[in-house]
Amino acid sequence: MKIIEILKQPKTSISFEFFPPKSEESEIQLFQTIKDLEHINPTFVSVTYGAGGSTRDRTRNIVKKIHEETNLTVMVHLTCLGHSRKELIDILNDYKSIGIQNVLALRGDLPVNQENFVQPEDGCKHADELVRLIRDNFGDYYCIAVASYPEGHPESPNMEQEIRFFKQKVEAGADFSITQMFFDNQIFYKFLELVEKAGINIPIIPGIMPITNFKQIRKFAAMCGATIPNELILELEKYENEPEKVKEIGIEYAVNQCIDLLKHGVKGLHFYTLNKSDATLRIYDKIKDYIKG
Ligand SMILES: Cc1cc2nc3c(=O)[nH]c(=O)nc-3n(C[C@H](O)[C@H](O)[C@H](O)COP(=O)(O)OP(=O)(O)OC[C@H]3O[C@@H](n4cnc5c(N)ncnc54)[C@H](O)[C@@H]3O)c2cc1C
């Protein structure tokens, strides 16, 4: 099923992101997480793709397994850096052959510690080129999502450019977008105003990262340029050596953030689960009365 068809319905979309596990043991843990989250009846789940194609086979295997062994709609992430156009078309033909109809088209980040990384000359430099490549070769077969950045992508000089490049992805044929994580809803609402002004009218689903580990979230947020509000940092710092308390604060924060977003009429919520169900389930339980069924 194409996700955009589900997003046209009035109900709120709830979705989850997973990454491809590295070991048999973590695959078992992932499938337990999927089982735990399945009863929420998510609109879709998505599986990430390692920078420069580093998880090509692992991503494919997990996507295929979820598609074949559960009733969930799956979206595969695909990054264009490091692949030739022919390789990208081969990958997409393969996903088509196993029945996958949803793809998150990304540029990707340069892989770290890969000295021999080479970007093929005939590859796609940016996500808009990948979106166009998919539309040119697969027509409307795929529902295509793209990333958006309420605080601007770290490489973007300003929000004007950010919106201009986002619009190019939409004009190339993107159906909907998922945002980078953010912790301050006011930044997201301002972003929506800019998007509307620019005439972009695809559904934009906020990406929610529940804070369960302060050190880890600080690192992630710094990497992607997401601001953690000062009051939240101060509160978390007080309990730096009490992981359970940090998790409790993080979950409470995400609950309030999600309720505010739902009250503002967002089309859906996409949870970065880090392959664990506990925090997401606890959040869901407290926000479910605000979700349109
Ligand atoms: C929801 C979500 C899921 C993600 N999943 C993954 C994943 O699975 N694997 C992974 O490796 N990474 C993932 N990322 C991270 C993403 O790959 C990085 O943020 C990457 O640096 C940018 O990807 P993009 O698709 O937004 O690129 P682009 O849209 O190409 O943008 C990259 C930068 O170039 C600028 N730009 C865009 N188009 C042009 C153009 N035509 N000319 C000049 N400049 C341009 C943009 O403003 C931006 O600064 C994800 C991000 C999000 C938000």
pLDDT per position as a tens digit, 122-155: 999 999 999 999 999 999 999 999 999 999 999 9
206 CA to middle of ligand 1, Å?
A: 16
User: What is the percent of the chain with per-residue pLDDT over 90, rounded to a whole number?
Assistant: 94
Query: DSSP letters along 58-127, please?
Result: HHHHHHHHHHHHSS--EEEEEE-TT--HHHHHHHHHHHHHTT--EEEEE--PPPTT-TT----TTS-SSH
Query: DSSP letters along the chain, please?
Result: --HHHHHTSSSPEEEEEE---SSHHHHHHHHHHHHHHHTT--SEEEE---GGGTTHHHHHHHHHHHHHHSS--EEEEEE-TT--HHHHHHHHHHHHHTT--EEEEE--PPPTT-TT----TTS-SSHHHHHHHHHHHHTTSSEEEEEE-TT--TT-SSHHHHHHHHHHHHHTT--EEEEEE-S-HHHHHHHHHHHHHTT--S-EEEEE---S-HHHHHHHHHHHTPPPPHHHHHHHHHTTT-HHHHHHHHHHHHHHHHHHHHHTT-SEEEEE-TT--HHHHHHHHHHGGGS--
User: Which protein residue has the closest C-alpha to ligand 1 atom 3?
Assistant: 147
**Ligand 1 residue neighbourhood (C-beta within 6 Å):** 48-49, 51, 77, 79, 104, 106-109, 126-128, 147, 153, 155-156, 161-162, 165, 168-169, 178, 180, 207
Per-residue confidence band for 111, with pLDDT thresholds at 50, 70 and 90 = confident
pLDDT of residue 52: 85
In which domain, by residue range, is 128 found? 3-290
Q: Is-contact 28 292, C-beta < 8 A? A: no
Residues whose CB falls within 8 Å of the CB of residue 34, separated by 6 or more in sequence, listed in order: 18, 45, 66, 70, 72
42 CA to middle of ligand 1, Å?
A: 25
pLDDT tens by residue, 148-205: 999 999 999 999 999 999 999 999 999 999 999 999 999 999 999 999 999 999 999 9
For a pocket test of ligand 1, which of 107, 119, 166, 191 has the largest count of ligand atoms closer than 8 A to its C-beta?
107
- Measured distance CA(270)–CA(17) in Å, rounded: 7
Determine if residue 19 is left, alpha or beta; phi over 0 gives left, psi from -120 to 50 gives alpha, anything else beta: beta
User: Which protein residue has the closest C-alpha to ligand 1 atom 15?
Assistant: 108
49 CA to middle of ligand 1, Å?
A: 13
Catalytic residue among 17, 129, 151, 162: 17
Q: Is 38 a catalytic residue?
A: no
Q: 45-57: buried (b, 16+ CB within 10 Å) or exposed (e) per residue?
A: bbbbbbbbbbbbe
Task: Report phi then psi at 210, rounded to 5.
Answer: -70, 135
Residues whose CB falls within 8 Å of the CB of residue 186, separated by 6 or more in sequence, listed in order: none
pLDDT tens by residue, 191-245: 999 999 999 999 999 999 999 999 999 999 999 999 999 999 999 999 989 999 9
Give the N- to C-terminal CA distance of the chain in Å, as an integer. Answer: 19
Global confidence as pTM: 0.97
Domain holding 102: CATH number? 3.20.20.220
User: What is the percent of the chain with per-residue pLDDT over 70, rounded to a whole number?
Assistant: 100
Report how many domains make up the chain.
1
pLDDT of residue 117: 78
127 CA to middle of ligand 1, Å?
A: 6
**Residue closest to 185 by CA, chosen among 261, 251, 252:** 261
